[in-house]
Amino acid sequence: MDLNKLLQPAMYPPKWLLIVIAAGIATSAGALVDLTGRIEHASSVEFEIAQLKKSVRPHPTPSKADQEHGEQWAKLQAERNFEWYPIFLALERASSEDIELLEFRPDKANRQLVLRGDARDMNALTKYIDRLTAQKMISQPYLRHQKLSLREGLQVISFEIQTSIDSREIVSVSQHR
């Protein structure tokens, strides 16, 4: 055994190598701390996403009864929003003292009206139909039924007129009100 080697002072690495190693260890430790923080943040975001997915339930498809209920409400809304003013105005413009309108039956789905009433004579009824034809909201009025009847001792013509409603005119009149 060579005791001379053991008795010699130990050789230390150069200082610059120690500085490089210390800098590498410090950089690695900083990167490890940063990576740990990012992993924790990612896991907390994943947890929040999972919580949100649990809290947001998909909308169930409505049942047939619910769909029918919704359709009924849509019909009622359309009924409520229907512009009656132009139609009443047109009927008022076409009216005369020789005509007594007794029934006004609208069919909004088919855009039609049925008018029932009494006329003093056939001439008054013909003029009434002509005045209805002149109204922009009313189109294609025709006499569906007529008959002579006695009303309060007077002979009158009971009639039924069917006509179409021109919805384009209703929209244009309502916009000008």
CATH architecture of 81-176: 2-Layer Sandwich (3.30)
Nearest to 132 by CA among 164, 91, 174: 91
How many C-beta atoms surround the C-beta of residue 144 within 10 A? 13
pLDDT category of residue 167 using cuts at 50, 70 and 90: low
**Tens-digit pLDDT profile for residues 26-47:** 999 999 999 999 999 999 999 9
Domain boundaries, the chain: 1-59, 81-176
**Tens-digit pLDDT profile for residues 89-144:** 999 999 999 999 999 998 877 888 999 999 999 999 999 999 999 998 888 999 99
Nearest to 137 by CA among 175, 103, 91, 105: 91
pTM for the complete prediction? 0.53
- Cα separation of the two ends of the chain: 120
